[in-house]
Amino acid sequence: MSFFSSKRERRLWLALAIALVAIYATLGQTPALVASLGADIIESAEANLVFALLILLVVVPVFFVDRRLARLEFAVSIGILAVFLLTWLRLGSWEARSHLFEYALVAALAHEALLERRDNGRRVPAPTLLALSISLLLGLLDESIQYLLPNRVFDPVDVAFNSLAVSIIIGARWALRLLRRWIERRRGSA
């Protein structure tokens, strides 16, 4: 018996591992990147638009993996995405915004992998809470690693940004699953 319940679950965990390697490997590089590109370019409307498109191209496919959405689900999903993007736009710095993007992706991948595992008959107690816990711990690990780096510090504010991203995505995915069940029950009783 394989450790993974399906090829899809293996791909999701691999995608999560790749995302984490990318996040952890670039710790401490954001200030240098901002300095080399210039704060004016990074904070420009064009850069914000590009970053928002990255969110749409990366997080949204993970958020809606292998799902056909009903109109109500689609409308709620657009609302959730709008909240996420508005939160992102209100953050003051590029570094804070990158935390929101990175840990939204981490949380969505962890949650989807756990749901895939459970849906394939493996025991996964409370997958939403487990994904929330795993993602919050990975965000804390991010900051703990930075404590060990010579040019970085452990920043509780960054932990809060990581936690905000995780909470938004896990909460949104949980709400959409509840909505999907409600729609299916209504269709079944009609």
Residue 107 neighbours by CB under 8 Å, 6+ apart: 131, 132, 135, 165, 166, 169, 170
Q: Over 80: is that where the pLDDT of 129 sits?
A: yes
Residue 81: the pLDDT is 72
Q: How far apart are CA 145 and CA 27, in angstroms?
A: 8
Q: Tell me what the pLDDT averaged over the chain comes to.
A: 79
> If phi over 0 gives left and psi between -120 and 50 gives alpha, with beta otherwise, what is residue 121?
left
Domain layout of the chain by residue ranges: 7-189
Judged against a pLDDT cut of 60, whether residue 15 lies above it is answered with yes
Q: How far apart are CA 54 and CA 49, in angstroms?
A: 9
Q: How many residues does the structure list for the chain?
A: 190
Non-local CB neighbours of 5 within 8 Å, separated by 6+ positions: 116, 117, 120, 121, 122
Give tens-digit pLDDT for 49-104: 666 666 666 655 555 554 555 667 667 777 777 777 777 667 666 677 777 778 88
